[in-house]
Structure 1
Amino acid sequence: MKRTRRGILRSIGAGTAVAVGCVGAASAAPPRDGETIADIASNDDRFTILVEALSEAGLVATLDGNRQLTVFAPTNTAFENLLRVLGISKDKLLERDDLAEILTYHVAPGRRDAESVTTSDQVPTLNGAQIDVDGTVLNGGQAAIAQTNIEASNGYIHAINGDNVDGTGVLLP
């Protein structure tokens, strides 16, 4: 009988699976007083391209308020992989008409910690679509969760990339 990652996670517990699966830090410091998802991403060198894209798409305010959200944040490496695969520059990516749609595909309503995500079959997104989840792999290999539970005052960030999967690390609807 073939076991899926979800089945394995459910059988040994998501917290243990995160640690055993080398997914990265399974927990982070408690939310810093007042630091929002936008604040934390802006101060993390791994997310500079994401922050530029959010700014270009006019979405910084969405991640800077009180609404509880979960962001599957592509790292710079994920964006660089995407640019290479698409054969375009960062400037061309930032000019895309569907940039906001792509970015809101990375944001789920509600505060979802790693256990909530990894034990779900699908996670709804702000653009109305669903992200398929199989343990720490998203959308059949488009991205892998690299670090979980980066906690903000208004939700969680889960860093994603293309390591250990066939995709670039950026989710495309």
Structure 2
Amino acid sequence: MKTLNRCLAGFLCTAALAAGQVQADHGPTTVGGASMLPERSIVDNAVNSADHETLVAAVQAAGLAETLAGEGPFTVFAPVDAAFAALPDGTVQGLLEPQNRDRLRGLLTYHVVPGRLTREELHEAVMERGEAASFATVQGERLTVMPNGNNLMLVDGQGRRANLTLVDVAQANGVIHVIDRVMMP
């Protein structure tokens, strides 16, 4: 109920609330039809999400599964399958080829920020800095978080924008925020 009250107070989750995707304090969040159990790692949970099959395949192809199953903590901005499908034809297939492994690793680690940053912490950082807050990714470049009405959005180095459609999916080694677009370094 606490989470629902925060949403009703206008804290960045209007879209998630409307979609019925806000995690209740009494149970796990469901992502892609699977319960995300907070005692499991990011990878252990992600493999069960029907909405993140492309992301999981990419993480495995890049050799990042062991890292993202590790201690962390990590904040992962996880694009859904539809976000990967919206990339130009052949992009995903090309990235999954063994000769493009470094490029794929760079793309994926651009979606990961060290530490556990909740929606509330992201919002506070934005408010503290004015209109936007920038965070260094594991890849080395920065992602910017900005308000989008009562929600938050990410802006990549090329100006592409992604909405945070589901926030604060607790993991044993971090937190996942589901996004609707693939960010490009």
Distance in 2, matches of 1:106 and 1:123, equals 11
How big is the alpha-carbon RMSD for the aligned residues of Structure 1 and Structure 2?
2.3
Q: Cα distance, 1:32 vs. partner?
A: 3.4
Which residue of the other structure, out of 103, 121, 124, is the alignment partner of 1:116? 121
Q: Cα distance, 1:14 vs. partner?
A: 10
Q: Is structure 2 residue 32 aligned with structure 1 residue 16?
A: no
Q: Partner letter of residue 164 of structure 2?
A: I
Instruction: Tell me which residue corresponds to 1:166.
Output: none
Q: Does the residue aligned with 2:108 lie in a helix, a strand or coil?
A: helix
Instruction: Tell me which residue corresponds to 2:92.
Output: 90
Equivalent residues of 1:26, 1:114 under 8 A apart: no
Structure 1 residue runs without a partner (length 5+): 1-11, 162-168
Greater fraction of residues in helix: 1
Distance in 2, matches of 1:61 and 1:91, equals 22
Taking a change above 3 Å as real, the CA distance of residues 22 and 33 of structure 1, as seen in their structure-2 partners, is closer
Distance in 2, matches of 1:155 and 1:92, equals 29
Q: Is structure 2 residue 80 aligned with structure 1 residue 75?
A: yes
Instruction: Tell me which residue corresponds to 2:55.
Output: 50
Distance in 1, matches of 2:92 and 2:140, equals 26
Determine which structure has greater relative contact order: mean sequence separation of CA pairs < 8 Å that are 6+ residues apart, divided by chain length. Answer: 1
Distance in 2, matches of 1:77 and 1:90, equals 12
Q: Cα distance, 1:141 vs. partner?
A: 4.2
Instruction: Tell me which residue corresponds to 1:27.
Output: 23
Structure 2 residue runs without a partner (length 5+): 1-5, 29-35, 126-132
Distance in 1, matches of 2:124 and 2:16, equals 15
TM-score by length of 2: 0.73
Distance in 1, matches of 2:44 and 2:167, equals 17
Q: Does the residue aligned with 2:37 lie in a helix, a strand or coil?
A: coil
- The aligned length equals 151
Which residue of the other structure, out of 78, 99, 103, is the alignment partner of 2:104? 99
Greater fraction of residues in strand: 2
Deviation string, structure 1 residues 118-143 (Cα, Å, up to 9, x no partner): 33311221011110110211114421
The percent identity for this pair of structures is 33
Q: Cα distance, 1:17 vs. partner?
A: 2.9
Instruction: Tell me which residue corresponds to 2:144.
Output: 132
